[in-house]
A and B are shown apart, each in its own frame.
Chain A
Amino acid sequence: MFEVYKKEIKELLRDRKTLMFVVALPIFIFPMIFGVLGYFMVQAQIEADQEVHNYSILGTDLAKDFSEDIFYHKNFKLSKVDNGSRDNLISAVKNKDIDVGINIQRIKLSGNQNTYKTNIEIIFNNSSRISYISEKIRLIFVKYKEVVQRENLKFLGITKDNEQILILSPVTIEEVDTADLRESFGEKIGVLLPYLLIPLVLTGASYPAIDLGAGEKERGTLETLLLTPITRTQIVLGKFLTIFTASMTTSLITVGSMGLWIILAKWFVSIDYIIDAIRLIGINDLLLILILLMPLACIFSSIVLAISIYSKSFKEAQNYMGPLSMLVFVPLAISMMPNMELTLKTSIVPVLNVSIAIRELLKGTVDYNLVYLIVISTTGLALICLSFCVKWFKKEDVLFR
């Protein structure tokens, strides 16, 4: 068995495609993708923040302070619209002559003929890009509204600051977050990490499996191997161990490369928050994450090897393995739903259980009894999958289809 394992590992290490999937993808390509994505998101944010919007305004006399605040705001530039009317503002926005139209109207309050309120209509196209036009105007509006409210209260005879506060803010709300640094960080990274790690465990297993099963059939080496005086169980276990190693290596390299990139990033940007949070997680919980991934890698390795052995060619194996990723992504997506917690029920659902457990381990809120249950149930399933794979490998109609 170990002779088969040693030889398969040697061959895999000489295969550029495998090295690409197992080493290059997690070390360089993922951080590069995240880096590029992050860069463009930050750039888009800065651009949106600095963007100057052309605006046109109707009814400036009805809200002079508001109109002036917008006029002097760094993100707005006044632009005239011919024959100023609400319809013309809408057409100008639609035609992209201006970015935003502001229509200030005075509306009579029902039941009282001499009382009016001011309505500010913001006309903009929300689908075009990230611009935060509406938010920027709203901030100016809130400031203006408070000034108007205070003036109105004065007009009604309520002049004292305390009295005004009683009317303007009779009730206030304050949030007290009991989540510590680790919990807060775990909630955020705990959604991302399983989504990255678990599919990688599958990807890390898939390519070597195709090469070791269907690939051997296609190249005519499998039959030769079957004719050596070692049992088919030893052959399949040797192949399984190789795939399992590749699968676990992929996830370990991913975690390792993330750590490395974090250390490198420390020199360029302030990420003390992340480093402090990682320190709080502790080595035991990180090891538990690794232990949770092992039976999962075992399940994936057995399934992809069984598929690969059944397939006549590389291409056929790839076709069969396509839908397998769905079986992983569906429970992963469910695990991300709000209020999805580790319970007795969720702890026996494969993939879902590991995904939630990783998140709760990172947050430091996990029930360790349930983690042990996951390890036991997933290991049990892994053994079932492996014994199926061994039996499958002994079937003549699978090997010689």
Chain B
Amino acid sequence: MIEVAGLKKKFKLTKDHKKNKIDDIDPREDKDYFHSVRDVSFSCAKGEVLGLLGPNGAGKTTTLRMISTALKPDEGTITIAGNDIVKKPLIGRKSIGFLSGSTGLYGRLTVKENIEYFAKLHGMDKNDIASRCDELFTLLDMHKFVDKRAENLSTGMKQKANIARAVVHRPAVVVLDEPTTGLDIMTTQTVIEFIKGLKAQGTPVIFSTHHLDEVALLCDRVAVINEGISCFDGTVDEFKQAGKSDELNQAFMNILTEKHDV
């Protein structure tokens, strides 16, 4: 289980940003800082898939970066199996598998070398690496291209390799930042099947997306962030109720509009 409570994160404004600032356009900007995440809370239990929704610039990526320990929150806690990973980031990194649409691979290494490298960095031993790699290559149907250099792979192959890289260390929680952005239908399907597989194994999955059909297909829970603040956290049914629509797109629009009006 992962619990996120009261996350806040601000970034110092650059001189250029201050110079070109248009007053009162974004309520998250003050004199010196941009408050990207102002108060975000949600949770995701074992075997659940949580869809993190929000318009562009809502603070989803910053939130996921804090969960993945790439960024340190200014305030708030992120707890995985009782460990506050804000205070113990190395434990957090062992527990989390992270994948985004823009994640790259080392082009001059083969797929196998890429995955083995990350397994070694996660402290796995030689035998464990070999058996885990074999397991993932079979699961994701990768055997044909594991010895190819990553720079020579198609987008679909790359994303499969990225998935394997993200879960090679058997993470307790998987975090996906817009994992299907820019992918073709076949590769998107691979990602969807991968999420389904994680869910079946009981691994909590948090993924941000703009595709509400994916939410309908995969998610048990939904969290909505707007202008850096959580404005909804609940089950998909509760999401439809709160948004006063059975259509997820409409419900999402209604929740955003309602919160904005308030």
Which positions in A face B, CB cutoff 8 Å? Answer: 3-4, 7, 10-11, 14-15, 219-221, 223-231, 396-397, 399-400
Contacts and interface: CB of A to CB of B under 8 A. Distances in A.
Contacts of B90: 229-231
B104 interface: yes
Contact of B71 (A3, A224, A400): A400
B68 interface: yes
A224 B117 contact: no
A224 B109 contact: no
A305 B82 CA distance: 38
Given A224-B98, A227-B93, 15 more contacts: A3-B117, A7-B109, A10-B108, A10-B113, A11-B109, A219-B104, A221-B104, A221-B106, A228-B121, A228-B122, A229-B93, A229-B94, A230-B121, A231-B90, A396-B72
7 contacts: A3-B117, A3-B121, A14-B109, A219-B106, A220-B103, A224-B98, A224-B118
Nearest to A234: B121
A245 B35 CA distance: 42
Contact of A229 (B72, B109, B121): B121
A224 B93 CA distance: 10
A397 B13 CA distance: 10
A3 B125 CA distance: 13
Nearest to B93: A229
B70 interface: yes
Nearest to B12: A397
B123 A229 contact: yes
Contacts of A221: 103-106
B70 A228 contact: no
A237 to B, nearest CB: 14
A228 B93 contact: yes
Nearest to B95: A229
Contacts of A7: 106, 109, 113, 117
A227 B122 contact: no
A226 B117 contact: no
Contacts of B105: 221
Nearest to A13: B108
Contacts of A225: 121
B69 interface: yes
A127 B107 CA distance: 55
A210 to B, nearest CB: 15
B96 interface: yes
B158 to A, nearest CB: 11
Nearest to A10: B109
Interface string B87-105: 0001101101010101111
Contact of B122 (A14, A220, A229, A399): A229
Contact of A14 (B12, B70, B108, B123): B108
A11 B106 contact: yes
A64 to B, nearest CB: 80
Contacts of A219: 104, 106-107
A223 to B, nearest CB: 6
Interface in B162-191: 165
Nearest to B177: A223
A34 B68 CA distance: 54
Contact of A227 (B70, B91, B117): B70
A396 B70 CA distance: 8
A146 B93 CA distance: 92
Given A7-B117, A224-B103, A228-B93, A15 B68 contact: no
- Residue of B11, B94, B108, B118 with most partner-chain A CB within 10 A: B108
B108 A11 contact: yes
Nearest to A224: B103
A229 B98 CA distance: 13
Contacts of A11: 106, 108-109
Given A7-B117, A10-B109, A397-B12, A227 B104 contact: no
A399 B12 CA distance: 14
B120 interface: yes
Contacts of A224: 98, 103-104, 118, 165
A400 B9 CA distance: 13
Contacts of B118: 224, 228
Q: Would you list the 6 A-B pairs with minimal beta carbon distance, nearest first?
A: A220-B104, A228-B121, A219-B104, A14-B108, A229-B93, A221-B104
Nearest to A8: B106
Contacts of B107: 219
A246 to B, nearest CB: 15
A11 B113 CA distance: 11
Nearest to A11: B108
Contacts of B122: 228-229
